[in-house]
Amino acid sequence: MTARRGEDERLPVKRTAKLYVGGAFPRSESGRSYEVFAHDGRSLGWAALASRKDLRDAVVAARAAQPKWAGLTAYNRGQILYRVAELMEGRREQFVAELADAGAADPARGVDAAIDRWVWYAGWCDKIPQALGGTNPVAGPYFNFTIPEPTGVVGIVAPPDQALLGLVSRLAPAIVSGNTAVAIASETAPLPAVTLGEVLATSDVPGGVVNLLTGRVRELVPWVAGHMDVNGIDVTGVPDDLRAEVEELAAENVKRLHRAPEVDPFSEDAQSPYEITALMEFKTVWHPIGA
Amino acid sequence: MSQPASIRPHSPTIVPREAARLVAHTVAVDAVGLEERAASLAKRSIKKDAKLWALDLAIRSMDLTTLEGADTAGKIVALCAKAVRPQPTDASIPSVAAVCLYPQLVPVAAGQLSGSGVHVASVAGGFPSGLGPLDARLREIAEVVELGADEVDIVLNRSLFLGGRYAQAFEELVAAREAAGAAHLKVILETGELGSYDRVRQASMLAMAAGADFVKTSTGKIGTNATLPVALCMLEAVRDFHRQTGIRIGVKVAGGVRTAKQAIQYLTLVHETLGDAWLTPDRFRIGASSLLNDVLMQIDKERTGRYQGPDYFTID
Amino acid sequence: MTDRTNDRAPEAIEHASSGPPAWGYAPAPESTEIVRLEERYGLFINGEFVEPKSGRRFETINPATEDTLAEVADAGPEDVAIAVEAARDAYERRWRERSGAERAKYLYRIARQLQERSREFAVLESMNGGKPIKESRDVDLPLAAAHFFYYAGWADKLGYAFPGRDPSPLGVAGQIIPWNFPLLMAAWKLAPALATGNTAVLKPAETTPLTALLLAQVIQEAELPPGVVNVVTGAGDTGAALVDAPVDKIAFTGSTEVGKIIRRATAGTGKRLTLELGGKAANIVFEDAPLDQAVEGVVNGIFFNQGHVCCAGSRLLVQEPVFEPLIEKLKARLQTLRVGDPLDKNTDVGAINSRVQLEKIEELVASGVEEGAEIYQPECVLPERGFWFRPTLFTGVSQSHRIAREEIFGPVLSILTFRTPAEAVEKANNTPYGLSAGIWTEKGSRILWMAERMRAGVVWANTFNRFDPASPFGGYKESGFGREGGLQGLEPYLRLDGANGSGS
């Protein structure tokens, strides 16, 4: 696994890769874990293998955190998300190494893009309603306006490739509006997601806003798709042969379904305010005008 | 509102039908503005001698409270000792205003506090819900006064009030006023259940008009206790009532006041809203249990310049 | 008068230590140690602090003590020309081609640094301008940082602000700001200009240059390319030189009188212009208003920043049924205002910004007395040195009085009455100004009905003097044109003539 160390060399302390649920780092309640390998076959250690009960707990945590997260001012949420980018810069080397292990062609670029993506979406917090909501000139003595609001708790199935950028590109637009999320990380390269969880835990993002599960996508996806307390689901990382099943399961509580457009993940087209509104509701208010 | 000049001291100022109208016509409260004002007053900085004076007043205005099902005579004896001499080694520390407890323990406290100047305050009238039979509630009020309570803390009937039966809620308070006789009557609004500041203000007006000596925020028995904006809302109602009738009503904040800093924030609200005439135990009280030692610690901090530790203060 | 509490108390509660009430706020001055003042400040041009070619300097003082704080360079036409040239060069060579994402990151850095050093800025702002530390600490600084933060977020999203257009920067912006919110106005000007890809030459007000110069240091530390922001200090002549310089845009906040001069000076030059000028706002209280909060709003509306606020609620219109209780509450509230040392954390009303301004206020107040309005001022002891004015109410004011028509820009409130909503509208709009208005009523439909009819750029309902970077600000009529803040605040710094529908 690693080269034999000299006698004077210090023995490093290894990380245990755990789930990130409700601001804490539990192991899977199932007690299971799975070995993670680098692209060249080296073992990178073990990650927690989340069960449906872990998913259930994650949804409970996300639901509990949602009203407060959405209740923060947009400005405050924006600053908190910007700080995620600040903290990711501090872990840059670790992310680069993990992406290199995962076989990324240009790991540094992947990390840069992921950090910049947080910054880009952070800036949207207090602009979405201005850019995409508005007042409606109805024919009558009414003040009528439309505001976008978060849909609630969303499930995210991160794309299996682009272990960091792919996850961030799904997660950031989901939570900037005030949703909370339960995300299932890339199955084959879960470690950048675990590190991201550690970044989030030390950021000002409240516990429960982001919950990260590692494990078998096929095992977890039907449970999140069928969960009656999940309002929306980003199915970008759902394997093709599971799509129909997921959409059927999602029908039971009429989940909002969203899949990212198939574009170069590094390009500017991979980020858009419509990625945010895909998991939002539009609310229209009527109010009479009269002395 | 009817004229105050000729009323007897113990009478409500209006009749029930008017009370209902009074509630309907109470001036509105804007929640955002109220909370901003409370928050800005909470930032006032009080230092040195002024702080020591405020801390002293916080003790003098304190209703040292225990309202547990597990309260015993032994617990009350200990609490009364603490109430009379909060800091046994320091004679400059004043006694608290009153000890607040359940009816059954009133005789114990009355015996302990006799001649000390510290009052006996009893909850009564079906505390904390106020939903028992009316005659039983009234009897309880009369009984605690007979047993030696100087002050009675009763609850507003929120069931009637929130149900819009203002006249009936008012009549109950008037009856309670009569049952309390010469004792000091505090009416607990249980503001955490009222849902809005408008309601807090309306309930304050109703209780004052019915003859309350004090309006009090909370029972301490539900999740939401006294808050600065709620207290400010009640102080503003008291200010208007005074302006309209010439009668000065007291305010008691209760529940959740644990630190000297909080106590000073409440005193600041009183000072800024009602003026120094209300900075007296006759018109302002804080109902609390753990607050006392924090105030004592802060007083020692001010005097010695050292931050204090809890091991140096008696628990009761 | 009966006192139920005393009548009924079985025995008066007295303890050994209880004496007469001795409530008070001991002085709680904010330490000035955090501010490191230099003896003399240069001009900030091309990323460096340089000596003025003019060779002239002037002293800047603390209006609360009249002590000199520092010497500041007085930029002459040559200095302004150099600054504009530096800005032009930076625009052509360094800034216009930067990606929006990169511009955003610079602005985020500035925002963060303002937050980091906010106490230092706040203390300096209060020292140089006379405003209470609680305002510079709780309003000016957080808002200034928020402004940079907000516009940082737009820098890389301009296409979404103007769908179907391809926004491009104008070039060099000359920005002239007033003394009432020195740092905040600098932020209002610089943040959108830089976010949209312009470079800037900023001229702070003569009496309050210090926080803009400290901001220049922050900009230096943020490694903003040299010349992107330049700060030239000076008085009216410096401003005039900037207006006449080869800039692409002038943004001015200040008096209507000077605004008109600038409009004339730029006539025919093709320079883009935004003006944020004076005001004489009506704060309208209906009989169903939440009165205690309305009192706070009225007080905040006119005594915030000593009334040195262009959108101050300087005319109070009260519906007749609540005139008496409102005035009574207002007078009582005035007694609790604490006037004095701006650096004391408990101070509500600080020093008047300058002797000139104090004299102007005194002159207008004298005219109010002379014209027959009834004056009310609370008792309060004013410091001997420095520039001070008591919070002042005028009742019995009519529309024709000077104090009802002219901007006083001080802590002076003129009170009028009205009977119907229509009359309130008529009186509120009966002014050449149109910056802001306040409406106090519990009735939502009336708020909207009134708001529809107010000829003012900002209408506050059941609140007053609220500001947010996301919320556009600016006036109707002689209060100026153009908006600052919000999505609308981008447009004055952009050319929108391209149309290619790009979404990013």
What is chain C's pLDDT, residue by residue, as a tens digit (504 residues)?
345 544 443 333 333 344 555 788 888 899 999 999 999 999 999 999 999 999 999 999 999 999 999 999 999 999 999 999 999 999 999 999 899 999 999 999 999 999 999 999 999 999 999 999 999 999 999 999 999 999 999 999 999 999 989 999 999 999 999 999 999 999 999 999 999 999 999 999 999 999 999 999 999 999 999 999 999 999 999 999 999 999 999 999 999 999 999 999 999 999 999 999 999 999 999 999 999 999 999 999 999 999 999 999 999 999 999 999 999 999 999 999 999 999 999 999 999 999 999 999 999 999 999 999 999 999 888 999 999 999 999 999 999 999 999 999 999 999 999 999 999 999 999 999 999 999 999 999 999 999 999 999 999 999 999 999 999 999 999 999 999 999 999 999 999 976 543 433
Whether A251 contacts A209, CB under 8 Å: no
Size of interface B-C (CB pairs under 8 A): 141
Which chain A residues are closer than 8 Å to C152 by Cβ?
Answer: 123
Look at residue C504 in the predicted model and tell me its pLDDT: 38
pLDDT in tens, B124-175: 999 999 999 999 999 999 999 999 999 999 999 999 999 999 999 999 999 9
State whether residue C474 sits within 8 Å of chain A by CB.
Answer: no
- Using the Cβ of A81 and the Cβ atoms of chain C, whether some distance falls under 8 Å is answered with no
DSSP state of A72: S
Candidates C497, C425, C436; CA nearest to C466 is C436
Distance CA C226, CA C230 (A): 8
Q: Quick one: which of B279, B282, B284, B231 has its CA closest to B256?
A: B231
Both tokens of residue C268? 């025919």
Active-site residue (options: B150, B153, B213, B300)? B153
Query: For the residues B175-192, what does the mean pLDDT come to?
Result: 96
Instruction: Closest CB to A290: pick one of C422, C449, C469.
Output: C449
* Residue of B29, B184, B247 lying closest to C293 (CB–CB): B29
**Least CB-CB distance to A127: which of C153, C420, C445?**
C153
CB atoms within 10 A of CB B304: 9
Cα–Cα distance, C494 to C167 (Å, whole number):
6
Given B63, B213, B216, B294, which residue is catalytic? Answer: B216
* Inter-chain touch B34–C293, beta carbons under 8 Å: yes
Residue type, C148: F
pLDDT of residue A120: 98
One-letter amino acid at B232 equals L
Cβ atoms within 10 Å, residue B26: 19
Alpha carbon of C219 to those of C44, C179, C187: distances in Å? 10, 21, 12
The answer to whether the CB of B89 falls within 8 A of the CB of B52 is: no
The answer to whether the beta carbons of residues C289 and C464 sit under 8 Å apart is no
Question: Is the Cβ–Cβ distance between C126 and C183 less than 8 Å?
Answer: no
| pLDDT reported for residue B253 | 98
The model's pTM is 0.93
Residue C15: the pLDDT is 38
Cβ–Cβ gap B27/C290 under 8 Å: yes
C486–chain A Cβ distance below 8 A for any pair: yes
Dist CA A61 CA C181 (whole Å) = 44
Residue C57 has what pLDDT? Answer: 97
The alpha-carbon gap from A255 to the nearest alpha carbon of chain C, in Å, equals 28
Nearest by Cα to B29 from C294, C34, A219: C294
- What single string gives the DSSP state of each residue in chain B? ----TT--TTS-SS-HHHHHHHHHTPPP--HHHHHHHHHHHHT----HHHHHHHHHHHHHTEEEE---TT--HHHHHHHHHHHH-SSTT-TTSPP-SEEEE-GGGHHHHHHHHTTTSPEEEEE-SSTTT--S-HHHHHHHHHHHHHTT-SEEEEE--HHHHHTT-HHHHHHHHHHHHHHHTTSEEEEE--GGGT-SHHHHHHHHHHHHHTT-SEEE---S-SS----HHHHHHHHHHHHHHHHHH----EEEEESS--SHHHHHHHHHHHHHHH-GGG-STTTEEEEESSHHHHHHHHHHHHHHSS---GGGS---
Name the residue in chain C with its Cα closest to that of A83.
C112
8 Å CB contact between B84 and B116: yes
Q: Calculate mean pLDDT across residues B230-252.
A: 95
Q: What is the C-alpha to C-alpha distance for residues A158 and A171, in angstroms, rounded to an integer?
A: 8
Does the annotation count C310 as an active-site position?
yes
**How would you classify the pairing of strands C48-50 and C43-45?**
antiparallel
- Write down the pLDDT at residue C14: 39
- Does the annotation mark B153 as catalytic? yes
Using a CB–CB cutoff of 8 Å, tell me whether C146 touches chain A: yes
Q: What average pLDDT is seen over chain A?
A: 96
For C61, the enclosing helix (H) or strand (E) is strand C57-61
Spell out which residues of chain C touch residue A74, defining contact as CB-CB under 8 Å.
Answer: 470
Overall size of chain C counted in residues: 504
Interface A-C: count of C-beta contacts within 8 A? 75
Q: Which of C125, C276, C407, C484 is catalytic?
A: C276
Residue pointed to by tokens 């904006």? B229
Which residue from A122, A131, A287 is facing C161, i.e. has the nearest CB?
Answer: A131
Q: How far is C288 from chain A (nearest CA, A)?
A: 12
Which residue in C457, C410, C466 sits closest to C429, CA to CA? C457
Can you tell me the distance from the alpha carbon of C490 to that of C471, in angstroms, rounded to the nearest whole number?
12
